[in-house]
Chain A
């Protein structure tokens, strides 16, 4: 699909994708500054020569979150959280960064941005936003959107989203995205003015297409299955992980009771007293260590969640393909039937039922002149139809090619990220065990001195 966005003021060179293992660290995007006139926006047409660019790095970070109150669309008071987005440009030579833009956005604006991207880049697997409401919580974790831990994790998630978009070779060039980062006031109006909501495919249309399409590309069918499986397995995993976390929390915390009771008991003991007391202290340490451990695990869960939501983005691309394919098939069918009609009129045979045929029978034959006129009209329609079919075909193929390129890119990103996430999870477990060994070794020493 053509990029409908108007020419951006700056053309950003696609950035090398970087792993997001530390979402807190501002990711750096390579920004290429275009020399005037050498713009080239054809999708897939990578003729931009590097000589034309002086490379500038930019850093994006969502650095703060703030609670605000305001009036909503229905003039009712509401509380919401606003996030500070800071953009810095880094001079390649000296590495110093200069703050170029900073503005506040709330979650709904991020949603707006994403919806816009979905409409204008249907062949791209658009990065997902962090969850709207807390899900897969275990009992201690709050499900409240205003909870500071939730807000903090959301802040990180939003930053991650922006960095993903900024490092995407195609999405990073979008002007609306650029304005999102740079133009605080009026941005919403600007987005709405693009009329993207009107261009969006209706859900109903898409559903219809999914059921009726006859010949979708097999790869997309497989991809849809894969994304369904991915979604189901990751949700299951997250659910069980939450339960495991809950239980682990229980085990650790109950040990804390030992601490209190040992300490009280030590008061009546002479020889055992010291040992009991200090062992009790270690039990307290053990019990409180679980809080940090599980906080780190939440981060792992968030990494998995991102790919859970990515599954939906994959499905969106598949749906678009199905829609286009269905559209194509319908157009072809329509053309075929028009051709047939034309043929029938020309040869005078009526093979299929037509309203015209019926009315002719009822109300009398039409004149040769009328028939000629109709044939002519049909011929014109057929010509138009053939052209349309040709361009639809072209579009369809173009779409498949571009989409598949992005999907390949996505696959690599996914494999890399998830592998890292799993490994870091294992590392977390190791560190948890090391702590455990330490605490229990200390406790054992105390016990043996009793």
Chain B
């Protein structure tokens, strides 16, 4: 992980990191990430084409140890540069001019420039008089200036993650926020806190935070920072701030009413996007189900095979001439079992979580689409109001002006993030399935080598 050093950041000191700021407000110069020139870290193949969110980002996320080379001067330089820009996300109410926004917004992940490393581990059960719940330990290591320290350790529970997600959605309604693992267990399990369930959830939460960290905009969100760093009391008091329950409820009612209108005036490119999302969602959910089913069938196959082998041993006890042949068949079956177990574990680590995450992502995408439509609808309703009532034209015009900005911001943000998301998706899916194919090849090779 010393890539940061190798990446020759000095060479890329010029381009600053992309700081996509939108939401409903300030837009600033969004520039694409400079490609690490020449001396790109060993991992990025062939320096020409950008490899945004390349496979390495997923593998990065899953790497247990993410050591930060703190004595890299390059890093210092880099963070200082970054700190010069105002990177904090901000309250949704400040207006912004669309003119400063460049249409060409590209979000690319640069693993070489990663300076925020998060791990989620050590689930612990807490029992109180009211409830039992699990907390997870979150360790953050960073070199960023705006963090008070370079290392943080906090404990959070699922509810806290939910809070974070909601805040991010509020702040950036048309960015694709990564999905959280399900709140409840879907089916089959009896205990809520079954070990497998906890482990799966832990991995998903780890993924969730790292996806945010890798996102060029979300990574600088203030709530995110607080989530990662605040100790228990500070954190709970922070959570209590923000729009109250009633106002949030009011917002959502309005939102539902508006979303219907937004659909009608959707620009072409978003129609296409919506179409994609609908079909993708269908297909990825099917693939999720299919993959789970394959795992289940393999598990049952393994169970039967485990009984199959020993019968041959039993038989060999009553035979003389056949004993050796029978015993070697039994040992082959046994090795087959082991190979199957390995195949299954590879499957459940590489493919299942990825496919499932994207199934959950598809819900996020639909929500993003809705929110975009809502923003558009707000604008449309005001425009309608303008054309029908002639009163208060000035006020309306001003409002419309703001809303137009807002819509444009939202649309551009979405577009940019969409491209980034799609690229990530493509890479993730490709590597997940390639991995699965590889596992299967290994499995069959294993088995065939051993046969008499």
Chain A residues in 8 Å Cβ range of B426: 271-272, 450
> Binary interface profile of A, 212-250, with partner B (CB < 8 Å = 1, else 0)?
000000000000001001100110110011011011101
Asked if residues B430 and A450 are in contact (CB atoms below 8 Å), the reply is: yes
A436→B319 CA distance, assembly (Å): 34
A254→B290 CA distance, assembly (Å): 7
Chain B residues in 8 Å Cβ range of A243: 304
A261→B359 CA distance, assembly (Å): 14
Instruction: Closest A residue to B320 by CB, please name it.
Output: A415
Interface check A309, CB cutoff 8 A = no
Least Cβ–Cβ distance between B441 and chain A, in angstroms:
5
Selected interface stretch from A29-37, A164-172, A175-183, A417-425: A417-425
Instruction: Closest A residue to B321 by CB, please name it.
Output: A415
Asked if residues B321 and A447 are in contact (CB atoms below 8 Å), the reply is: no
A250→B448 CA distance, assembly (Å): 21
Within 8 A of A (CB), among B302-318: 304-305, 307-308, 311-312, 314-315, 318
Interface check A264, CB cutoff 8 A = yes
Whether A250 contacts B286 in the complex (CB less than 8 A), given A418-B322, A423-B452, A437-B448, comes out as no
Selected interface stretch from B8-16, B292-300, B378-386: B292-300
Interface check B197, CB cutoff 8 A = no
**When A and B form their complex, which 9 residue pairs have the shortest distance between CB atoms, in order from nearest?**
A444-B437, A247-B301, A436-B444, A433-B448, A265-B283, A440-B440, A250-B297, A433-B444, A415-B321
A429→B452 CA distance, assembly (Å): 11
A255→B434 CA distance, assembly (Å): 15
The answer, among B276, B307, B430, B447, for a CB contact under 8 Å with A275, is: B430
Residues in chain B within 8 A of chain A (CB atoms):
275-276, 279-280, 283-284, 286-287, 290, 293-294, 297-298, 300-301, 304-305, 307-308, 311-312, 314-315, 318-319, 321-322, 325-326, 329, 332, 426, 429-430, 433-434, 437-438, 440-441, 443-445, 447-448, 451-452
Asked if residues B294 and A254 are in contact (CB atoms below 8 Å), the reply is: yes
Asked if residues A423 and B283 are in contact (CB atoms below 8 Å), the reply is: no
Asked if residues A429 and B308 are in contact (CB atoms below 8 Å), the reply is: no
Instruction: Closest A residue to B430 by CB, please name it.
Output: A450
A279→B451 CA distance, assembly (Å): 29
Asked if residues A440 and B448 are in contact (CB atoms below 8 Å), the reply is: no
Chain B residues in 8 Å Cβ range of A427: 451
Interface check A197, CB cutoff 8 A = no
Instruction: Closest A residue to B309 by CB, please name it.
Output: A240
Asked if residues A237 and B301 are in contact (CB atoms below 8 Å), the reply is: no
Asked if residues A237 and B447 are in contact (CB atoms below 8 Å), the reply is: no
Whether A265 contacts B280 in the complex (CB less than 8 A), given A241-B308, A254-B290, A254-B293, comes out as yes
A46→B325 CA distance, assembly (Å): 35
Least Cβ–Cβ distance between A418 and chain B, in angstroms:
6
The answer, among B279, B305, B319, B447, for a CB contact under 8 Å with A265, is: B279
Interface check A132, CB cutoff 8 A = no
Instruction: Closest A residue to B329 by CB, please name it.
Output: A422
The answer, among B300, B326, B332, B434, for a CB contact under 8 Å with A447, is: B434
The answer, among B280, B319, B445, B451, for a CB contact under 8 Å with A426, is: B451
Asked if residues B325 and A422 are in contact (CB atoms below 8 Å), the reply is: yes
Asked if residues A440 and B444 are in contact (CB atoms below 8 Å), the reply is: yes
Asked if residues A255 and B448 are in contact (CB atoms below 8 Å), the reply is: no
Chain B residues in 8 Å Cβ range of A240: 304, 307-308, 311
10 further contact pairs, Cβ within 8 A, besides A254-B297, A429-B451: A237-B312, A244-B301, A254-B290, A257-B286, A261-B286, A422-B322, A423-B325, A429-B332, A430-B447, A443-B440
Chain A residues in 8 Å Cβ range of B314: 233, 236
Least Cβ–Cβ distance between A59 and chain B, in angstroms:
30
Interface residues on A, range: 35 or more
Q: Secondary structure of the A side of the interface?
A: helix
Asked if residues B304 and A258 are in contact (CB atoms below 8 Å), the reply is: no
Instruction: Closest A residue to B448 by CB, please name it.
Output: A433
Chain A residues in 8 Å Cβ range of B293: 254, 257
The answer, among A250, A415, A419, A425, for a CB contact under 8 Å with B301, is: A250
A419→B434 CA distance, assembly (Å): 40
Asked if residues B297 and A247 are in contact (CB atoms below 8 Å), the reply is: yes
Least Cβ–Cβ distance between A183 and chain B, in angstroms:
40
Chain B residues in 8 Å Cβ range of A247: 297, 300-301, 304
Interface check A268, CB cutoff 8 A = yes
Instruction: Closest A residue to B332 by CB, please name it.
Output: A426
A13→B448 CA distance, assembly (Å): 44
> Binary interface profile of A, 353-374, with partner B (CB < 8 Å = 1, else 0)?
0000000000000000000000
Whether A426 contacts B452 in the complex (CB less than 8 A), given A229-B318, A254-B290, A433-B447, comes out as yes
Interface check A394, CB cutoff 8 A = no
Asked if residues A233 and B311 are in contact (CB atoms below 8 Å), the reply is: yes
Asked if residues B445 and A433 are in contact (CB atoms below 8 Å), the reply is: yes
A436→B329 CA distance, assembly (Å): 20
A265→B434 CA distance, assembly (Å): 17
Chain A residues in 8 Å Cβ range of B298: 251
Most chain A beta-carbon neighbours within 10 Å: one of B293, B298, B440:
B440
A441→B322 CA distance, assembly (Å): 37
Asked if residues A251 and B311 are in contact (CB atoms below 8 Å), the reply is: no
Q: What are 15 pairs between A and B in contact, CB < 8 Å?
A: A229-B318, A237-B308, A240-B307, A250-B300, A251-B298, A257-B290, A268-B276, A425-B329, A426-B451, A429-B447, A433-B444, A434-B444, A436-B444, A448-B430, A450-B430
Chain B residues in 8 Å Cβ range of A241: 308
Instruction: Closest B residue to A266 by CB, please name it.
Output: B283
Instruction: Closest A residue to B433 by CB, please name it.
Output: A447
Least Cβ–Cβ distance between B450 and chain A, in angstroms:
9
Asked if residues A272 and B441 are in contact (CB atoms below 8 Å), the reply is: no
Least Cβ–Cβ distance between A89 and chain B, in angstroms:
36
Least Cβ–Cβ distance between B320 and chain A, in angstroms:
8
Least Cβ–Cβ distance between A262 and chain B, in angstroms:
8
A362→B297 CA distance, assembly (Å): 85
Chain A residues in 8 Å Cβ range of B286: 257, 261
Asked if residues A261 and B287 are in contact (CB atoms below 8 Å), the reply is: yes
A354→B134 CA distance, assembly (Å): 92
Chain A residues in 8 Å Cβ range of B304: 240, 243-244, 246-247
Asked if residues B308 and A248 are in contact (CB atoms below 8 Å), the reply is: no
Chain A residues in 8 Å Cβ range of B322: 415, 418-419, 422
The answer, among B290, B308, B430, B437, for a CB contact under 8 Å with A440, is: B437
Chain B residues in 8 Å Cβ range of A443: 433, 437, 440
Within 8 A of B (CB), among A278-293: 279
Asked if residues B308 and A448 are in contact (CB atoms below 8 Å), the reply is: no
Chain A residues in 8 Å Cβ range of B318: 226, 229-230, 233
A58→B275 CA distance, assembly (Å): 73
Least Cβ–Cβ distance between B391 and chain A, in angstroms:
47
Instruction: Closest B residue to A261 by CB, please name it.
Output: B286
Instruction: Closest A residue to B282 by CB, please name it.
Output: A264
